[in-house]
Amino acid sequence: MKRILVLLLCLALAASLLTACGKKPAAEVADTKKDSVVIAIGTEPETMDPTKGWGHGNAPLVQSTLVKYTAELSFVNDLATDYVLSKDGLVWTFKIRDDAFFTDGEKLTAEDVAFTLETAKAAQGAVDLTYMESAVATDDTTVIITLKQPTSIFLNTLASVGIVPAHAYGEDYGTNPIGSGPYRFVEWRPQEQIMFTANESYYGGAPAIKDVTVVFMSEDAALAAVQQGSVDVAYTSATLGTTSVPGYRVESLPSADNRGFTLPVLPDEGKTTEGGAPIGNNVTCHLEIRQAIAYAIDRQTVADVVLNGFGRPAYSENDGMPWNNPAVELETDVEYAKQLLAEGGWADTDGDGIVEKDGLKAEFTCLYPSGDSVRQAVAMAAAEQVRAIGISILVEGTSWDDIMKRMFSEAVMMGWGSAIPNETYYLYRSEGALLDDFYNPEGYRSETTDAYLQAAMAALTPEEANRCWQQVQWDGETGTAMQGECPWVWIVNLDHVTYVREGLQIGTQPIHGHGHGLPLIQNLQEWSWEN
């Protein structure tokens, strides 16, 4: 925070000095040059190494990918000029373009592609390539990738794995990357900013925006920077996005970024995770409790009031996606929620407004990360609505370190969302339950769900895969949906609210995944200033 305040004060001082000397402030110079931008976001990346997660779920910007997403979520070639999949779904043969060069002047070849994928597999990080057997370059423009089993999400993975140079890859690559993408890395000042410049030799054509500075700021600091005019683009929250600032417009960008309760599905039997964290909750382990909460929440009201209209009701982890099952939507029904509790043996026997069963009060704690005003507001609004059916949710802000120790036994206001179906697989697979990765802390396990997940992963066509992903959610009798096993109570999908200086066009934004910031710049090469 001190660094941010110092940065803002320096910007203000520089502006006043420039004005006093008869020169324009930097923001006005950028507006005149029409070829640079200053962007304020809240999330600083941990690395710019694609083999360790940079670009995961988004375009990596500095690097090129074999294929890439369109704004309509279809695939188009990037480095690849063609690819063929064997009939058994195990062997992918990619032909790559011969006019791609790294910014150090070296030509990108199939060997770099193979090196990147093998390095990402060995890293065992955010890029899951455990299902890949090998990646081998057979000549400069051909790479053959062999999988251990058919994997329908493979193209989704390739669309976010930027290709790194085998000849220039080392331990410091993540902080000093070389790539063949539309932008060239210039400088990274940790906790302050990253600077890029246009790759003038990019095979896709040099971007119109030549110089890019990405600064890292809190929501309040970003809004202050907008009001001061020291940034051209700034993320903001739904709670701040109604503030009108002359010279800027507010863009409400659709996202798959959702918020909802994770609810432990296991009882407290005194067990712990491998790390020693307690497992289970004797209230939320009851299906009727979880479903009653789901039916009691008026999601539209939460979106309208808490998010100031910058959001929509959420019913799953992938609302609106081609692999979503529309049957997961449910209507708010407070009376049905009360009926579920009554049929489950819950009643308010002492008149305190909270139902109980066998002496156990329907009361539990929901955690959220301190300082996250949106998660806090969503959690408190939902808790107030749920109180009407006799369930008490105590909302508590704490650190992520503390949440990691308590998330297996207490509810968490969690956030997910991705424009790729991989997320469904990781959220619900039995083998991922109770691991320290936030995906399945509720401990959900189901042989039926696992079978659908495996079928979706092994599908040879997107259509077949989508049918299986939909059955994961609801097959007519069971599933992960809230009318099913309900390990999650989904509440809202957030719009990513962004201040944009008038005259700057930010292109057709692909639907954003979780995280307000980096998804915004994935199409940076399409941005331009109006003449």
Q: For 428-458, how does the pLDDT look when each residue is reduced to its tens digit (9 = 90+)? A: 999 999 998 899 999 999 999 999 999 999 9
Q: Three-class SS of residue 14? A: helix
Asked whether the predicted pLDDT for residue 276 surpasses 50, the reply is: yes
For residue 73, what are its two tokens? 């979520």
Asked whether the predicted pLDDT for residue 298 surpasses 60, the reply is: yes
First to last CA, the chain: 37
| Complete domains list, the chain, with CATH | 2-254+495-529 (3.40.190.10), 258-494 (3.10.105.10)
Query: pLDDT per residue over 468-509, tens digit each?
Result: 999 999 999 999 999 999 999 999 999 889 999 999 999 988
With a CB cutoff of 8 Å and minimum separation 6, the contacts of 456 are 152, 323, 421, 424, 425, 465, 466, 468, 469, 472
For residue 175, what are its two tokens? 């902080």
Among candidates 132, 104, 103, which has minimal Cα distance to 116? 132
Asked whether the predicted pLDDT for residue 7 surpasses 60, the reply is: no
Among candidates 171, 210, 177, which has minimal Cα distance to 64? 177
CA-CA-CA-CA dihedral for 482, 259, 422, 469, to nearest 10: 20
Percent of the chain with pLDDT over 70: 93
Mean pLDDT of 306-325: 92
pLDDT of residue 437: 85
Contact of 47 with 521, CB cutoff 8 Å = no
Q: Per mean pLDDT, which of 117-131, 152-166, 237-251, 381-395 is the most reliable? A: 381-395
**Predicted TM-score of the model (pTM):** 0.82
Contact of 310 with 241, CB cutoff 8 Å = yes
Please provide the DSSP assignment of 89-128 as one string: S-EEEEEE-S--B-TTSPBP-HHHHHHHHHHHHHHTSSS-
Q: How far apart are CA 74 and CA 195, in angstroms?
A: 30
With a CB cutoff of 8 Å and minimum separation 6, the contacts of 244 are none
pLDDT of residue 228: 96
Contact of 494 with 311, CB cutoff 8 Å = yes
Query: Exposed, middle or buried: residue 349 (CB in 10 Å: 0-12, 13-18, 19+)?
Result: exposed
Asked whether the predicted pLDDT for residue 2 surpasses 60, the reply is: no
List 104's β-bridge partners, or say none: none
Among candidates 131, 45, 35, 50, which has minimal Cα distance to 90? 131
Asked whether the predicted pLDDT for residue 17 surpasses 90, the reply is: no
Mean pLDDT of 147-172: 93
pLDDT of residue 511: 77
Contact of 457 with 429, CB cutoff 8 Å = no
pLDDT of residue 282: 98
Q: How far apart are CA 35 and CA 209, in angstroms?
A: 4
At residue 114's C-alpha, the angle toward residues 112 and 115, to 5°, is 60
Q: How far apart are CA 158 and CA 498, in angstroms?
A: 28
Contact of 220 with 478, CB cutoff 8 Å = no
What pLDDT band is residue 6 in, cutting at 50, 70 and 90? very low
Treating both helix axes as pointing N-terminal to C-terminal, what angle do 219-228 and 2-20 enclose, rounded to 10 degrees? 0
Which residue is it, tokens 């992938």? 318
Helices in 279-399 by DSSP H: which ranges? 287-296, 299-301, 334-343, 373-387
Query: pLDDT per residue over 91-107, tens digit each?
Result: 999 999 999 999 999 99
For residue 263, the one-letter residue type is L
Give the HSE-up count for residue 333: Cα atoms under 13 Å, Cβ half-sphere: 12
Top pLDDT among 132 and 22 is at 132
For residue 340, what are its two tokens? 């579920």
Query: pLDDT per residue over 170-208, tens digit each?
Result: 999 999 999 999 999 999 999 999 999 999 999 999 999
Among candidates 47, 312, 291, 178, which has minimal Cα distance to 56? 47
H helices then E strands: how many in the chain? 13, 23
